[in-house]
Structure 1
Amino acid sequence: MADLAAAAGITVRTLRFYRERGLIPPPRREGRIAWYDEHHLARLRTIAALLDRGHTLNGIADLTAAFESGRNVGEVLELGPPTEEEPVRLTPQELADHFAGEATPENLVAALDLGYLATDGEDIVHISRRLLDVSAALVREGVPLAAVLKAGGRVREHADALAELFTDLLGAEEARRLRPLAKSVVEAELSLALDRRLRP
């Protein structure tokens, strides 16, 4: 416990408090020895980053309890039943492999705030395989993950506005039925907008 606390830059007393609150999972035990690993350290760094961004311990505890209760990511994030997007379950190492060393605690917190990621026990769940693949491809092309996530936040705002436009225009039931048409309009308009921006 002392080694883990030192690695995380906190006191043993704080670590015990986090354990009591259920913010980190219990250690693996061998007799009287308690073993902590990189998953515990990653969780502590995530807690520190969340606290730095203004989240409260109560809020972090509620989020952790929800993630570990067995509910799926859509339920935790109140996204309703899944539609076309397929969630992806990853180990922390698999997530790190996708992003070539940019899966930092700060980027993890930003992705949690966006709703891209949730934790489920020792696994991480990404809300959309398509978004995961595109984000990883952009990072491989040299775009910093922090910039990808910041852009994702802006895209989310515009996407929400477009969804509101179509549901207001068509009503919820018709928007559900005509969803492919709405997506085609947005895709065509984005293509034309890129043409205008990239025109020599």
Structure 2
Amino acid sequence: MEELARAAGITVRTVRFYRERGLIKPPRREGRIAWYDDTHLARLHTIAQLLERGHTLNGIAELSEAFDRGRDVAELLGIGSPTEEIPVRLTATELADHFAGDVTPENLQAALDLGYLGTDGEEIVHISRRLLDVSAALVREGIPLAEVLAAARTVRDHADALATLFHELILAHGDEKDVQRLRPLAKSVVEAELSMALDRRLSPPARDIT
């Protein structure tokens, strides 16, 4: 514990306090010796950075609990493989910076439940750079992250329904190789229909002439 505290630049008392609060995991024990490793040091650095950004210890504890309950990266990247999306690795502080302090335990759990986020030691993996960038852009435009994630859940449901429709349509006249080969056509249909649907929402309503 003394070596860990020295490496983190904090006191042994602080390390012990963090352990008691559940902010860091217990060490590996061999007899009377407690072994800490790089994951403990990385967690202490994360705690320090989050404290500097104004997070409370209670909030950090809740975030840590949500991370520890999250799926690991191997499980996350197994979803929907093969994929055209590019995963992104982030630290907890980089994730917080992306969303201007809107990373609450509730929002974090919603993102984990959606499968947007997974964990790899002290690193976080976002399943899609495109989704990360778009989500962050919407938050910068003033839309709360909680509402962005709620909308994402609805989009996910509709996207699953569309994927099922195209999958069944193509399989009725081919096989799985055809589904992979023709997926760009399915994406083009969805993008075009969404574009026209937005046009209809943005067009001013027709006015009756009397």
The TM-score with structure 1 as length reference comes to: 0.71
Distance in 1 (CA, whole Å) between partners of 2:142 and 2:121 is 31
Q: Is the 8 A contact 1:117 1:124 kept in 2?
A: yes
Distance in 2 (CA, whole Å) between partners of 1:162 and 1:137 is 25
Distance in 1 (CA, whole Å) between partners of 2:103 and 2:192 is 33
Q: Is the 8 A contact 1:28 1:36 kept in 2?
A: no
Corresponding letter in the other structure for 2:159:
A
Where do residues 108-147 of structure 1 align in structure 2 (5 Å cutoff)? 108-147=108-147
Tell me the SS of whatever aligns to 2:74: coil
Corresponding letter in the other structure for 1:129:
R
Matched, 1:175 2:179: yes
Q: Which residue of 2 aligns with 1:157?
A: 157
Q: Which residue of 2 aligns with 1:45?
A: 62
The TM-score with structure 2 as length reference comes to: 0.68
Matched, 1:4 2:8: no
Alpha-carbon displacement from aligned partner over 1:41-93 (angstroms, at most 9, x marks no partner): 6774146569xxxxxx9xx4xx56xx2xx736313xxx143421000000111
Distance in 2 (CA, whole Å) between partners of 1:94 and 1:82 is 27
Q: Which residue of 2 aligns with 1:85?
A: 85
Where do residues 7-86 of structure 1 align in structure 2 (5 Å cutoff)? 12=20, 15=22, 19=26, 37=44, 39=46, 44-46=61-63, 60=69, 67=72, 71=74, 73-75=76-78, 79-86=79-86
Corresponding letter in the other structure for 1:118:
G
Q: Which runs of 5+ in 2 are unaligned?
A: 1-14, 28-34, 48-56, 205-210
Specify the structure having the higher radius of gyration (Cα).
2
Alpha-carbon displacement from aligned partner over 1:140-187 (angstroms, at most 9, x marks no partner): 111111110000000000000000000000023322111111000000
Matching residue within 184, 194, 197 for 1:193: 197
Per-residue deviation, 1:106: 1.3
Q: Which runs of 5+ in 1 are unaligned?
A: 6-11, 21-25, 51-56
Corresponding letter in the other structure for 1:189:
E
Per-residue deviation, 1:131: 0.2
RMSD: 3.2
Give the number of equivalent residue pairs. Answer: 168
Q: Is the 8 A contact 1:27 1:36 kept in 2?
A: no
